[in-house]
Structure 1
């Protein structure tokens, strides 16, 4: 287990509303047995060495979530539930009237602070398929990191162009790395579109688009965080949250990419980029459901997933 005695935790972020999917995509069945995409994620995580799961969900979603997957997983490994709620946030500011939008993925991890403090962990999106090799790379990284303060982190990076959707625009953290695969900068870009085999992003609502360089790497929220990450965001996120809500009370949100960039800017940690050749796919849009089902069926037929083990 290396120097990480407890072993790293697999953190599944499943509190999103799925507005573009037009439903609760987190519990949408993706095979004839009724498994959901998270089943495949947890399967891969357990196969690669993770032995504890933290699910970040909404409280009002708990019963349906446990019925769809939670009870099944808790029979295989320790499971902790954490609730990401709009009214639970850092600071003493008043809750903004008419706020509906979630606070973002940094807030999701802040919500899990009690479950994750002092631990290393891997974050994943509930509606993404990452490929088993990505989990193995993340587990091996976390298991081998030797920094005592837990400020050295990892990011599993994908070829950006392979993560874009022909169905609609997506958000991605675009990574800039140096010659030794250290993450130098990460910029969260929204409304990235795929056109003629190339990626383009806009900063002005679609008035103009900028082409993303070929070979660009993207973060897909597969972050391997050291045990010091939670201590950092407990302090730093509070400040950014208060400033952000004061400026934009109805629209402020912060992604994990934003939090990581803040760490890099402050020199409060380092991040190793771990490129992967695994094929990512996900369910941002309902039109992608059939594609997801077909790909998973192929993987089962190839023996990557064995029903008898699940």
Structure 2
């Protein structure tokens, strides 16, 4: 019988990033003045694709049963705070957690610790529009879990080029459980893991993940990496269920993504 757990209603969205790739000009890409303004500032989740992209992202989570939204933002992101403070909402409460400096994904997670408390929660990117059915499956996962996306599904049913997918973290799983997760896989790792599924930071976490995130040391890039917190939890014997999804994901990380994402979301009216 399928696990009927439905008491997970909190989702944390990481919206603090610098948007370095989005800030870069792209030859042949035409954006509106409003879109360019957000792109120039790296506020990719607020780029207008009929509505701000983050509206669609939150709306998909609400469709999956999420009603408590925590946005991890920077102290300078008053525009995001003001927009969601004024936006009429019917299904979600939106709160904010401040990440003082962009020190990496594990640090973004820690910024939400007080807001989340001792509840299980989802942790998601703010520049990815995830399939609602995958988010709903995560809500039914006790403890830790993550979605393992099929690379072919991301390219054929989403907007993500295969070359970009090759740079995503690879999931090594056995019998539906996470064994390891490899960030920035090299060619040897890609060859070893073959058709492994990939992670797009679509997680369910028990609150114990915060202790593992607090123990993370800076990586070679000088950032506190979420994958290191996950590895810490695995090393402590905490299991991670892997939810397989063949669906597509909309990725809004570069200027060249805007037109495809806008076309895919045309006619949709997210309800928050």
Which residues of 2 match residues 5-16 of structure 1 at below 5 A?
A: 7-16=8-17
Could you tell me how far apart the structure 2 residues matched to 1:47 and 1:81 are? 21
3-state SS of 1:292 partner:
helix
- Is 1:185 the counterpart of 2:176? The answer is no
In structure 1, what is the equivalent of residue 264 of structure 2?
A: 295
Deviation at 1:265, TM superposition (A): 2.1
**Alpha-carbon distance, 1:69 to partner:** 4.0
TM-score by length of 2: 0.80
2:235 maps to 1:265: yes
Which of structure 1's runs of 4+ aligned residues deviate more than 6 A? 1-4
Equivalent residue for 2:27? none
* 2:46 equivalent to 1:27: yes
Describe how 1:109-188 pairs up with structure 2 within 5 A.
109-141=109-141, 145=142, 152-163=143-154, 165-166=160-161, 169=164, 171-178=167-174, 180-188=175-183
Shift of 1:202: 5.6
1:29 and 1:47 mapped to 2: Cα distance?
21
Write the mapping of 1:26-105 to structure 2, written as runs, cut at 5 A.
26-31=45-50, 35-61=51-77, 63-72=78-87, 76-86=91-101, 102-105=102-105
Tell me the distance in 2 between the aligned counterparts of 1:254 and 1:168. Answer: 25
User: In terms of Rg, which structure is larger?
Assistant: 1
Asked if the contact 1:153–1:272 (Cα under 8 Å) also holds between the matched residues in 2, the reply is yes
Unaligned runs of 5+ in 1: 87-101, 146-151, 191-200, 204-208
- Larger RCO (alpha carbons 8 Å, 6+ apart): 2
Cα separation, 2, equivalents of 1:172 and 1:70? 33
SS, match of residue 189 in structure 1: coil
Any conservation in 2 of the 1:18–1:25 contact (CA below 8 Å)? yes
- Contact residue 21 and residue 254 of structure 2 kept, 8 A: yes
Partner deviation per Cα, 1:102-151 (whole Å, 9 max, x = no partner): 3211100111111112011111111111111112111222xxx2xxxxxx
What is the match of residue 93 of structure 1? none
1: CA distance between counterparts of 2:162 and 2:65? 35
1:250-295 deviation per Cα after TM superposition (whole angstroms, max 9, x unaligned): x41132222111211232x110000012211201211111011111
Kindly indicate whether the alpha-carbon contact (under 8 Å) linking 2:74 and 2:99 is maintained by their aligned counterparts in 1: yes
Shift of 1:163: 3.7
> C-alpha displacement at 1:167, in angstroms?
8.9
Which residue of structure 1 aligns with residue 254 of structure 2?
285
Deviations 1:138-187 (A, max 9, x none): 1222xxx2xxxxxx311011013444643964642210111x20001111
Change (3 A) 1:73 1:253: farther
- Counterparts in 2 of 1:73 and 1:103: CA distance versus 1, 3 Å: farther
CA distance in 1, matches of 2:17, 2:76: 12
Quick check: 1:228 aligned with 2:229?
no
Q: 1:40 to 1:263 in 2, by over 3 A?
A: same
In 2, Cα distance between equivalents of 1:212 and 1:12: 32
For these two proteins, the number of residue pairs brought into alignment is 247
